[in-house]
């Protein structure tokens, strides 16, 4: 059995020290210039490994590379897509990763001088990794294993495939994208340049898990125009937009909120309310896995808006809805081999594949909607977006094995028939 322990470890330690935290997207290009540092690192590394067609789209901050098919193998190109940015929730600056070998199952002292301890009672997921080697932070920053654990696995895959031409695989296309954590949705990933009809994103916690379902998602804004009158003479004249905003909020189903739902249940989530007597604005998001239920939710919001207009006069309330992404499951169900191969590859590596509907969006959901079907394989990190984030080195190793198996199985499938997209 090939072992990739040192390769993935060295990579994650190196990547995590590069600050590539994303921020608020304000225009074209990456939300933060530091993401270009990570991009430059990956370009240089790919060139060093002998990856072909390495290209850095500077303005979009997307990195591409390609590994040609192994000699004598004719197979459909397959893409692996990972994101270079880390979450803005906790600082990603000055990350000081370290390795705890052969974890003994107890509490972990992350930072002696500040007395920061990761306790098993607060992070029971640690129990799954007794005996393994963990890459941790010093308790003051995130690690950035989301998604650099995946990048470490993909780069190690590239290294192995290029060093072992006897391993059968078709063309492997690589892309590294910015701003996943802040809703970038791989918008500027150039599908023409990627040159693959199918892809997998690698992201998410727990090794061996994968996702082929995401929410259908929309953002909505309700604008309410009131009538402001001196409070002393307001009787019968004033329409207080603040009151109408509250009226609208009370029309929303009380239990269909994120804090009361899980699994495949959808919800409405009020993101913000700003109001005065004259004007109110309610911003909310709508989520549902089921296409029809999602449409019904949007219709419900329209009906609420109409109800306000009937009660208080036409043009009192106006609703705008912006679709954000669709459940990729609707498209992926037309290409069932994508998840089937993934399940087989996970099983090949001695793991039980676990499929979980993803209660959010992934870059893959947006890409699937753009015509690149894209299930997601977990990257194997834990406690992402926080100071207690960690990555078991063995999880990254497993992911390299899964990717190798996936490439082999993909090649065995040969060229695919002409599929209508």
| Partners of 200 in the β-ladder | 80
| SS3 call for 381 | strand
**Residue 83 or 326 having the CB closest to Zn ion:** 83
Burial class (CB in 10 A: 0-12, 13-18, 19+), 117: middle
**Residue 165 or 183 having the CB closest to Zn ion:** 183
- 3-state SS string for 137-204: CCCCCCCCHHHHHHHHHHHHHHHHHHHCCCCCCCCEEEEEECCHHHCCCCCCCCHHHHCCCCEEEECC
Q: How far apart are alpha carbons 374 and 392 in whole angstroms?
A: 25
**Residue 138 or 147 having the CB closest to Zn ion:** 147
Nearest-approach distance from CB 77 to Zn ion, in angstroms: 24
Residue 217 backbone zone (phi > 0: left; psi -120 to 50: alpha; other: beta): beta
- 85, 138, 363, 389: which is the annotated catalytic residue? 85
Contacts of 215 (CB under 8 A, 6+ apart): 266, 287, 288, 289, 325, 327, 358, 359, 360, 361, 365
- 138, 180, 212, 363: which is the annotated catalytic residue? 180
**Residue 160 or 202 having the CB closest to Zn ion:** 202
Whether cis (ω within 30° of 0) applies to the bond prior to 147 is yes
The single residue listed with the structure tokens 């009361």 is 260
Nearest-approach distance from CB 276 to Zn ion, in angstroms: 38
Query: In Å, how far from its chain's centre is CA 380?
Result: 13
E strands along 186-325, which residues?
199-202, 209-211, 216-225, 267-275, 279-288, 317-325
Nearest-approach distance from CB 376 to Zn ion, in angstroms: 10
Nearest-approach distance from CB 227 to Zn ion, in angstroms: 47
Q: Which residues bind Zn ion (CB under 5 A)?
A: 146-147, 203
Nearest-approach distance from CB 203 to Zn ion, in angstroms: 4
**Residue 84 or 162 having the CB closest to Zn ion:** 84
Return the H-helix or E-strand segment holding 136: strand 134-136
Nearest-approach distance from CB 179 to Zn ion, in angstroms: 11
**Eight-state DSSP code of residue 272:** E
CA torsion angle 178 180 183 189 (round to 10): 50
**Residue 147 or 159 having the CB closest to Zn ion:** 147
Nearest-approach distance from CB 180 to Zn ion, in angstroms: 5
How many other C-beta atoms can be found within 10 angstroms of the C-beta atom of residue 161?
22
Is residue 262 annotated as a catalytic residue, yes or no? no
**Residue 41 or 147 having the CB closest to Zn ion:** 147
Is residue 85 annotated as a catalytic residue, yes or no? yes
| Residues tagged active-site | 85, 180
């Amino acid at each position: 059995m090939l072992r990739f322990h040192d390769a993935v470890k060295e990579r994650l330690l190196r990547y995590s020290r590069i600050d590539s935290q994303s921020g608020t997207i304000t225009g074209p290009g990456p939300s933060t210039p530091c993401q270009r540092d990570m991009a430059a690192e990956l370009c240089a590394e790919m060139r060093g490994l002998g990856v072909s067609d390495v290209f850095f789209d500077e303005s979009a901050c997307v990195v591409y590379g390609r590994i040609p098919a192994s000699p004598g193998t004719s197979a459909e190109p397959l893409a692996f897509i990972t994101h270079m940015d880390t979450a803005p929730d906790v600082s990603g600056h000055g990350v000081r990763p370290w390795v705890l070998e052969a974890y003994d199952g107890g509490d972990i002292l992350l930072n002696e001088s500040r007395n920061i301890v990761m306790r098993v009672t607060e992070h029971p997921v640690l129990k799954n990794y007794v005996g393994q080697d963990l890459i941790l932070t010093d308790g003051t920053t995130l690690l950035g294993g989301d998604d650099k654990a995946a990048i470490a696995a993909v780069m190690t895959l590239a290294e192995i495939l290029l060093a072992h031409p006897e391993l059968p695989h078709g063309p492997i296309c690589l892309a590294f994208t910015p701003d996943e954590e802040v809703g970038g949705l791989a918008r500027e990933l150039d599908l023409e340049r990627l040159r693959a009809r199918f892809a997998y994103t690698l992201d998410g916690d727990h090794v061996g898990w994968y996702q082929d379902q995401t929410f259908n998602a929309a953002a909505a804004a309700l604008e309410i125009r009131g009538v402001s009158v001196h409070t002393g003479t307001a009787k019968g004249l004033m329409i207080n937009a603040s009151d109408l905003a509250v009226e609208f909020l009370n029309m929303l189903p009380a239990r269909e909120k994120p804090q009361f739902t899980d699994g495949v249940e959808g919800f409405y989530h009020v993101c913000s309310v700003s109001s005065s007597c004259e004007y109110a604005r309610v911003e909310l998001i709508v989520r549902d896995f089921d296409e029809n239920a999602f449409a019904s939710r949007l219709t419900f919001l329209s009906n609420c808006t109409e109800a306000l207009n009937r009660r208080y006069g036409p043009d009192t309330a106006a609703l705008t809805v912006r679709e954000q992404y669709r459940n990729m499951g609707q498209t992926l169900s037309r290409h069932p081999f994508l998840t089937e191969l993934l399940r087989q590859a996970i099983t090949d590596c001695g793991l039980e594949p676990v499929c979980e509907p993803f209660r959010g969006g992934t870059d893959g959901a947006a890409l699937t909607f753009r015509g690149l079907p894209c299930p997601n394989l977990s990257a194997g990190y834990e406690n992402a977006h926080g100071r207690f984030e960690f990555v078991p080195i063995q999880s990254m190793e497993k992911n390299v094995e899964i990717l190798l198996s996936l490439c082999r199985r993909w090649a065995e499938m040969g060229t695919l028939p002409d599929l209508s997209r």
